[in-house]
């Protein structure tokens, strides 16, 4: 049995072929309007399980369900034409066995039209990655800080410092050998990310890693200043849309209370106006 999704935009083999070339531009998206914006400049649009924290107010990604990922995946698919659409497999949907992972990955791709899935874990997930890729499901791996294991890590801590670097390096080689077409390196030391990038034949995508990675990814709400609950060190704010939106809402509220909105141009006359036929 195999699974496949309709091909639209960039494909996993094309992303893999970008190894060592122009850096891959990757962002998250969870809604159709934001996906359309990201699609104008990105190579990969990821429906991350960060949606649980960013849009649903959850304290971590652990409460995210398959139904949530499918709903947001369908919305993002409607707004994505050029970029490769990748969807996170939520916590508990793939760890039990390769067979469980295949059922859920196939469902994600079938019901959303995604071109690939992403799952967290290194050596422990290598068998699962191999199982999926042999059955037609492209996999983006994710190692280093894996947010779904935040309780095991004791928080969102840097992974791979000192002697622990050997573990992350082994994870990187394991997922590459298992057939992943790319790997996210999250919150690992710069020098280790650089070494992994040099040693692997697949692209590395950094988030809190190194500028020498083959690409970079951020949560779009973080880089636009829309999510303000906390700000990771690795986030650069390219805009402060949260502040802009707050000011706009305040201005709207003031005008409503002062009865200056709606104005004559925003309401409808008894007879149609010739210019707008309204």
Q: List the binding residues.
A: 49-50, 88, 118, 120
DSSP string, 220-276: HHHHTT---S---TT---S--HHHHHHHHHHHHHHHHHTT-SS-GGGS--SS--TTT
pLDDT of residue 154: 86
pLDDT of residue 5: 43
Stated as kind and residue range, the H or E segment containing 67 is helix 66-78
Q: List the binding residues for 3-methyl-2-oxobutanoate.
A: 49-50, 88, 118
Question: 229 pLDDT band (50/70/90 cuts)?
Answer: confident
Q: List the binding residues for Mg(2+).
A: 49, 88, 120
pTM for this predicted structure: 0.93
Q: Is 186 considered catalytic here?
A: yes
Point out which residues pair with 207 in neighbouring strands: 186
Rounded to an integer, what distance in angstroms lies between the CA atom of residue 34 and that of residue 22?
24
| 3-state SS, residue 100 | helix
pLDDT of residue 276: 57
Q: For the range 191-198, what are the long-range contacts, defined as Cβ-Cβ under 8 Å and sequence gap of 24 or more?
A: 192/160, 192/165, 192/168, 195/169, 196/168, 196/169, 196/172
For the cut 50, the answer to whether the pLDDT of residue 261 exceeds it is: yes
pLDDT of residue 275: 63
Point out which residues pair with 28 in neighbouring strands: 46
| For residues 135-140, average pLDDT | 98
| For residues 64-76, average pLDDT | 98
List 14, 95, 186, 246, catalytic entry: 186
The per-residue pLDDT for range 192-228, each reduced to its tens digit, is 999 999 999 999 999 999 999 999 999 999 999 998 7
Task: At 128, list the tokens.
Answer: 């699962």
Q: Is the dihedral of CA 45, 51, 53, 59 positive or negative?
A: negative
Percent of the chain with pLDDT over 70: 95
Rounded to an integer, what distance in angstroms lies between the CA atom of residue 60 and that of residue 216?
22
User: Given phi > 0 = left and psi -120 to 50 = alpha, else beta, which region is 187?
Assistant: left
pLDDT of residue 254: 98
For the cut 90, the answer to whether the pLDDT of residue 3 exceeds it is: no
Q: Whole-number mean pLDDT of the chain?
A: 94
For the cut 70, the answer to whether the pLDDT of residue 2 exceeds it is: no
CATH fold of 12-240: TIM Barrel (3.20.20)
Task: At 1, list the tokens.
Answer: 């049995």
> Taking the domains of the chain in order of start, what are their residue ranges?
12-240
Question: 231 pLDDT band (50/70/90 cuts)?
Answer: confident
């Amino acid at each position: 049995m195999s699974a496949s999704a309709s091909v639209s935009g960039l494909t996993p083999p094309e992303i893999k072929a970008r190894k060592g070339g122009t850096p891959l531009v990757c962002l998250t998206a969870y809604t159709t309007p934001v996906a359309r914006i990201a699609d104008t400049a990105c190579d990969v649009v990821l429906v991350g399980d960060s949606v649980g924290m960013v849009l649903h107010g959850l304290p971590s990604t652990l409460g995210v369900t398959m139904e949530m990922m499918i709903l947001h995946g369908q919305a993002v698919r409607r707004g994505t034409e050029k970029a490769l659409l990748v969807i996170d497999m939520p916590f508990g949907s793939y760890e039990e066995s390769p067979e469980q992972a295949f059922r859920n990955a196939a469902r994600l791709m079938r019901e959303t039209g995604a071109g690939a899935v992403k799952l967290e874990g290194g050596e422990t997930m290598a068998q699962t990655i191999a199982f999926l890729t042999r059955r037609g499901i492209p996999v983006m791996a994710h190692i280093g800080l894996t947010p779904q294991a935040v309780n095991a890590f004791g928080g969102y801590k840097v992974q791979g410092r000192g002697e622990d670097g050997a573990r992350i390096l082994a994870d990187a080689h394991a997922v590459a050998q298992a057939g992943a077409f790319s790997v996210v390196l999250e919150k690992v030391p710069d020098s280790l990310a650089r070494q992994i990038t040099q040693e692997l034949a697949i692209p590395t995508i950094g988030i809190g890693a190194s500028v020498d990675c083959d690409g970079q990814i951020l949560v779009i709400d973080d880089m636009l200043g829309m999510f303000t609950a906390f700000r990771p060190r690795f986030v650069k704010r390219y805009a402060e849309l949260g502040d802009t939106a707050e000011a706009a809402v305040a201005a709207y509220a003031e005008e409503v209370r002062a009865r200056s909105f709606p104005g004559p141009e925003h309401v409808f006359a008894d007879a149609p106006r010739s210019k707008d036929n309204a």
